[in-house]
Amino acid sequence: MHTRTLGTSGLEVSTIGLGCMTMSGGYSTHPDQAEMVDLLHAAVDRGVTFFDTAEIYGLHANEELVGRALAPFRDRVVIATKFAQDIDPVERKVRGRMLTPDDLPRAVDGSLQRLGLDSIDLYYQHRINPDVPIEDFAGAVKELIEAGKVKHYGISEAAAETIRRAHAVQPVTAIQSEYSLWWRRPEDDVLAACEELGIGFVPFSPLGKGFLTGAIDTSTRFEDGDLRTQIPRFAADAMQHNLALVDLVKSIASSNGATPAQVALAWLLAQKPWIVPIPGTTKLHRLEENIGAANLALSDDDLARLTAVYSEVEIEGGRYPGFLEAQTNL
């Protein structure tokens, strides 16, 4: 596995990381945790060094899983986690408010304990709290860095101006936001801000929550509790329209002896050398498939066709229900 550096921070990670959210549920399944430990070990064995979790995933359970599984490899891996919501550590439920800067010392101590770390490699603000200036959060993370509890500062789902304001207080190492062939809002201004400021970019859902793998179509039925049942892009009419994008991805995959997922990831990797996608999976064969994208070099023509099809198809449906989308890009 090759490596990339997140911006000018010096933080070096594997070219493709691993998003760990679904290892604690999210797509209606509840994977066997012993199997997920084995999968995390397999990822390390195959050269993955960048692992992404958050305290909200599984309401602390995901951090515990990642910490337990990666304990033998702490000198070989980079672990990123996130804060945003106030979570009751005993009852494991969201208390209904977003964290404030004053809450961060308690929040980081909880994540450190669950992950079994002395210092968090990359600590993201998971969502922007509209009631608190971003400068206050940046200052609070700066204090955590000075205290040795955090090494690098990140922000998720932030607008370009928010990123600039935070970076002026505490240099930001990485921005994590959704970015893929079917969600390209970061191209509006966030990627330019990252390039200007020397910040790495970490796309989550780089495979469109499974849509870009080619394994989902209008006949797919999601189980109760699967978050995709709430997403407008997965409604039958929208999906039927959006499959035109997947058809091109499949065609290019076939001509390259690759899979649609590998093509979608290779397109992302080709956009900037400081972009590091974090596809998630609970299956070993999908992990190996995703890692294989790091060795796929698409032609200039293939890249141009993939870039153009987004406008040609005019993707239908929101990526989140309206109330959730309102919490992003602030």
Q: Distance between CA 314 and CA 230 in Å, rounded?
A: 21
Torsion angle of C-alpha atoms 17, 57, 108, 93, degrees rounded to 10: 180
Using pLDDT thresholds of 50, 70 and 90, give the confidence band for residue 26.
low
The reported pLDDT for the residue numbered 224 is 78
Q: What mean pLDDT is predicted for residues 153-171? A: 97
- 258-294 pLDDT tens trace: 999 999 999 999 999 999 999 999 999 999 999 999 9
Active site residue 57: yes
Q: What mean pLDDT is predicted for residues 226-243? A: 89
Give the global pTM. 0.95
Tell me which of 27, 57, 124, 153 is the catalytic residue.
Answer: 57
Q: Please, what are the domains in the chain?
A: 3-207+272-296 (3.20.20.100)
The reported pLDDT for the residue numbered 28 is 60
Mean pLDDT of the chain, nearest integer: 94
Of 248, 247, 218, the closest CA to residue 233 belongs to: 218
Using pLDDT thresholds of 50, 70 and 90, give the confidence band for residue 219.
confident
